[in-house]
Amino acid sequence: MEKTRIFGASKTKSLISDVMQKKNTSSGVARRLKPSFSGLDRRYDVDTAGTIDVAILETFPYEYPGKDVVINIETDEFTAVCPYSGLPDFGVIKINYVPRKRIIELRSLKYYLHSYRNVGIYQEHAVNRILGDLADSCRPKWMQVIADYNVRGGVHTVATAERGKRRER
């Protein structure tokens, strides 16, 4: 399993190092700042995208080809990690699609999404990767994946990717 090390910003690490070694700081400042900066140089291990388990995805035949049905799947248990900070990103994944001949088996989908748990991947890349893997597994007429991430640092992100053409009703 490949791992990538995530490091804090170099300026922060340099300041922490100076404070810890009491370089260019008065001893009083160093004593006061040491607890404040403790842990900011922490490293986190994250998995690479190679650990995403695409092979776990299973499909089964759609028994009504030619009769369009929109399948909506939603889970609020999606987790990946930011490749920059190593901190977790939690979100809701919504998958909407019109099957052609195959339907995604839900248990396998849950395991597939769970394989992202420790993967360092940007939010916008995750939604495109999920769309690509799912569309390749079931070859739908149309598919949309929406990743609605929890607010972090005061910022709310919703990323949407789509493939194919949805027939208007």
Active site (catalytic) residues? 82, 89
- The phi and psi torsions of 100 (rounded to 5 degrees) equal -100, -70
Q: Specify the pairing of strand 158-164 against strand 142-149.
A: antiparallel
Q: Residue 167: how many CA atoms within 13 Å on its side-chain side?
A: 11
Q: What is the DSSP letter of 169?
A: -
Residue in 150, 146, 139, 75 with CA at minimum distance from that of residue 107 = 75
